C-alpha cells in the first residue's frame, strides 16, 4: 500500500470527524506503519462544517454578539478561511432550533436576523465569498430577518416596516433596497442545503418542516399563506418563481430568500465542502479511501458525507471502505458502490457504551486495524 485517504464525517454525539480520522489512522499504522496516510476530516454542510473547513485551511474563528431567533442577545461563532476572504457560517449558531426551549419553539415569531448579523460582520471584515450551512433552523421567515440585518426593508401597504418573523410575510407589500450596502451585492453566496422542497405549498417549507419547529396545524396554514404571498411578490419584483427552484424551502424558506435577493447558489452540503477543499486533488495516486459516519444506512445513499466521498473516488476508480458505528441496509450500500462496510461497535455492546468517546476511539482503531490485516493478506 502506498497511499490511503482517511475522510470520515463525525460520529455525532461521540467523536468529531478529526477524532474519527485519528482513530482510523492509529489502527492502520499498527499494521502498515510505513504507508502514506492523508487525513481529510469531512462534514456534510451541517453541524461541524465550520470546524472542518477552518481546520482544513488553517483558518480562524470569530466570536461576535448577535441575536437569537427570539431577538435575545447571544454570542455566535463563524469561521474565516482562505486569507480571511471566505466566511464559513452555520446559520444554526444564531438562528437554530437548539437555541430555544421546547416551550419557546414557534416559527411564527422567530427570525433569521442573527444570521444576517453574522454575514454583515464578515462583510465588514472584507469577506466576499460565503459558504453557509442552513440546517437546523428554528425559523419560517423566508430569510427576511437575515435580509433586514443587511439593510433590506419590508413594508406593508401603509409604507410601514413589517416585523421580520414568519407571521409577517402576508403583510409585506413592497421591498426597499436603497439602504443595502454595495458590499452585499459584491459577495458570492453558496448555500449548503440537502432538502429539495419548494418554497410554498403542501411540499413546501411550512407544511413539511414547521411542525418540527413548534407549529400547530393552524399556524402551518398561516405560515404557508405567508410564504405563498411572498412568493408572488418575488415573482412580481424579481421575476423569480421560488417554487421552481429545488431547495428554496430549506430552513423555513431561507434558501429561497438567499436565491431571490442575494443571487445565491444552493448546493448539497457535501458537494459544497468537497469542492471547497478540492478533494479530488487529495485523491491523486490513492490506493483506497476509508470513510465513515455514526450510522451507515439507506440515508447514507441520499447525499450524506460518505456518499459524496464515494462519488468523488468512484470517478477515479478508487475503492471506498466505510466504517460506521452501526451498519444497516448493507445490500443497498454495497449496490451504491462501497467496496466493503464495517461496523465499529462490538457485538453485545450497548449504544450508550459504544458512544463513549474513548470507547468509540478504541473500537474504530480496532476496526481499521482489521481492515488493514485483510487488505495486506
User: What pLDDT is attached to residue 299?
Assistant: 87
Beta-bridge partners for 140: none
The pLDDT of 341-351, averaged and rounded, is: 90
The pLDDT of 159-170, averaged and rounded, is: 97
Which domain covers residue 236, as residue numbers?
Answer: 49-269
Residues 121 and 249 in one domain: yes
Residues 161 and 219 in one domain: yes
Residues 214 and 78 in one domain: yes
The pLDDT of 266-278, averaged and rounded, is: 93
Alpha helices in the chain (DSSP H): 17-31, 49-57, 92-95, 113-124, 144-149, 182-186, 205-209, 217-238, 250-262, 269-277, 279-282, 305-314, 330-336, 351-354, 357-375
The pLDDT of 115-127, averaged and rounded, is: 98
How many of the other CB atoms lie within 10 Å of CB of 123?
18
Is the residue at 81 inside a domain?
yes
Provide the whole-model pTM.
0.89
User: What pLDDT is attached to residue 321?
Assistant: 97
Residues 76 and 223 in one domain: yes
The pLDDT of 202-228, averaged and rounded, is: 97
- Under the banding of pLDDT at 50, 70 and 90, the label for residue 1 is low
Residues 236 and 342 in one domain: no
CATH number at residue 93: 3.90.1510.10
Residues 221 and 146 in one domain: yes
3-state SS string for 170-219: HHCCEEECCCCCHHHHHCEEEEECCCCCCCCCCCCHHHHHHHHHCCCHHH
Percent of the chain with pLDDT over 70: 99
pLDDT digit string, tens, across residues 318-339: 999 999 999 999 999 999 999 9
The pLDDT of 279-284, averaged and rounded, is: 96
Checking if the pLDDT of 304 tops 70, the result is yes
Rg of the chain over Cα atoms, rounded to whole angstroms, equals 22
User: What pLDDT is attached to residue 143?
Assistant: 98
Residues 89 and 219 in one domain: yes
User: What pLDDT is attached to residue 190?
Assistant: 97
The candidate with the shortest Cα–Cα distance to 15, out of 362, 304, 322, 366, is 362
Q: Which of 224, 251, 269 is the last residue of a domain?
A: 269
Residues 250 and 121 in one domain: yes
Checking if the pLDDT of 195 tops 90, the result is no
Is the residue at 288 inside a domain?
no
Percent of the chain with pLDDT over 90: 89
Residues 324 and 211 in one domain: no
Residues 77 and 191 in one domain: yes
The candidate with the shortest Cα–Cα distance to 251, out of 102, 137, 149, 365, is 137
Say how far apart CA 345 and CA 363 lie, in whole Å: 6
Cell numbers for 28? 492502520
pLDDT digit string, tens, across residues 11-70: 988 999 999 999 999 999 999 999 999 999 998 888 889 988 998 899 999 999 999 999
Checking if the pLDDT of 374 tops 90, the result is no
Indicate the burial class of 349 (C-beta count within 10 angstroms; 0-12, 13-18, 19 or more): middle
Checking if the pLDDT of 377 tops 70, the result is no
CATH number at residue 342: 3.40.50.10350
- Under the banding of pLDDT at 50, 70 and 90, the label for residue 375 is confident
The pLDDT of 154-176, averaged and rounded, is: 97
Cell numbers for 140? 419560517
User: What pLDDT is attached to residue 350?
Assistant: 86
Beta-bridge partners for 146: none
Domain count, the chain: 2
Contact present, 243 and 174 (Cβ < 8 Å): no
Amino acid at each position: 500500500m502506498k497511499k490511503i485517504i482517511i475522510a470520515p464525517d463525525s460520529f455525532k454525539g461521540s467523536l468529531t470527524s478529526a477524532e474519527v480520522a485519528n482513530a482510523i489512522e492509529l489502527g492502520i499504522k499498527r499494521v502498515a506503519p510505513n504507508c502514506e496516510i492523508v487525513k481529510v476530516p469531512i462534514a456534510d454542510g451541517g453541524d461541524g462544517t465550520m470546524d472542518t473547513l477552518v481546520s482544513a485551511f488553517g483558518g480562524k474563528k470569530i466570536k461576535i454578539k448577535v441575536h437569537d431567533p427570539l431577538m435575545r442577545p447571544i454570542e455566535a461563532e463563524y469561521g474565516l478561511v482562505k486569507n480571511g476572504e471566505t466566511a464559513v457560517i452555520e446559520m444554526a449558531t444564531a438562528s437554530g432550533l437548539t437555541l430555544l426551549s421546547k416551550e419557546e419553539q414557534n416559527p411564527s415569531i422567530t427570525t433569521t436576523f442573527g444570521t444576517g448579523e453574522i454575514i454583515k460582520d464578515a462583510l465588514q471584515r472584507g469577506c466576499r465569498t460565503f459558504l453557509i450551512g442552513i440546517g437546523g433552523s428554528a425559523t419560517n421567515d423566508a430569510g427576511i430577518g437575515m435580509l433586514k440585518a443587511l439593510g433590506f426593508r419590508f413594508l406593508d401597504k401603509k409604507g410601514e416596516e413589517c416585523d421580520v418573523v414568519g407571521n409577517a410575510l402576508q403583510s409585506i407589500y413592497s421591498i426597499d433596497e436603497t439602504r443595502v450596502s454595495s458590499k452585499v451585492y459584491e459577495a458570492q453566496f453558496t448555500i449548503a442545503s440537502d432538502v429539495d422542497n419548494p418554497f410554498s405549498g403542501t411540499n413546501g417549507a411550512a407544511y413539511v418542516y414547521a411542525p418540527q419547529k413548534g407549529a400547530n396545524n393552524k399556524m402551518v396554514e398561516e405560515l404557508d399563506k405567508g410564504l405563498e404571498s411572498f412568493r408572488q411578490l418575488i415573482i412580481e419584483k424579481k421575476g423569480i418563481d421560488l417554487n421552481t427552484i429545488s431547495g428554496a424551502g430549506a430552513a423555513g424558506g431561507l434558501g429561497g430568500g438567499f436565491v431571490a435577493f442575494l443571487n445565491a447558489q444552493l448546493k448539497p452540503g457535501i458537494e459544497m465542502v468537497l469542492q471547497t477543499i478540492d478533494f479530488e486533488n487529495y485523491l491523486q495516486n490513492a490506493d483506497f479511501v476509508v470513510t465513515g459516519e455514526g450510522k451507515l444506512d439507506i440515508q447514507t445513499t441520499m447525499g450524506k458525507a460518505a456518499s459524496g466521498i464515494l462519488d468523488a473516488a468512484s470517478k477515479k476508480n478508487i475503492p471506498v471502505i466505510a466504517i460506521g458505528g452501526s451498519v444497516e441496509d448493507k445490500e443497498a450500500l454495497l449496490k451504491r458502490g462501497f467496496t466493503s462496510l464495517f461496523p465499529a461497535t462490538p457485538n453485545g455492546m450497548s449504544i450508550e457504551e459504544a458512544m463513549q468517546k474513548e470507547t468509540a476511539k478504541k473500537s474504530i482503531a480496532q476496526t481499521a486495524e482489521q481492515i488493514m490485516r485483510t487488505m495486506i493478506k
